[in-house]
Amino acid sequence: MAGWTNRGKYLILDSYFRGATDPTNFYVALVTSAAAPTQDTNTLSQLTQIATGNGYTDGGYQLSRNSTDFDSLVEDDTGDQGELQIKDVVWTASGGPIPSSGSGARYAVLTDDNATVGSRQVIAYWDLGSDRTVSDGQSLTLQNCELDLNES
């Protein structure tokens, strides 16, 4: 399941209609089930990021604002929505497991690029279905993470 945060909706409207400064990059961070992201989540500090190390860095995987990292954009007139898909995001465990300790990743969140990782604004989130860990030498891949905009 994927969802937009109210903060994410606000940021999109502020950027497109009011000309607010857009982030240079975005990040996909992995968080535990300690606090599930919801529509009311504003910043990464409200969630518990997985332990860093062994191939996972604080703040997550960097995405650039371009058609390579956001690789599919569709206007769906049948479903009355717009769809944006993120390229496959891959973390490979090296020197030990990901996460390096503690609970596995239960959610992935899309954030802006605030220099203070905990202050990064959470735009959207995806439920990975269960806690995910990978062993040394293995990879965790998020495929076809999609953002849908539709009216309800």
Local confidence band at 130 (pLDDT 50, 70, 90 cut-offs): very high
> What mean pLDDT do residues 24-34 have?
98
Q: What share of the chain is helix, strand, coil (3-state, %, to 5)?
A: 10, 40, 45
In the predicted model, what is the mean pLDDT of the chain?
A: 96
Report the predicted TM-score, pTM, of the whole model to 2 decimal places.
Answer: 0.95
**What span, in angstroms and rounded, lies between the C-alpha atoms of 124 and 39?**
8
Residue count (the chain): 152
- Given a cut of 80, whether residue 1 has pLDDT beyond it is no
Rounding to the nearest 10 degrees, give the CA dihedral for residues 142, 134, 57, 141: -10
7-23 pLDDT, tens digit per residue, is: 999 999 999 999 999 99
In sequence order, the β-bridge partners of residue 25 are 64
In the block, residue with structure tokens 């996972």 = 56
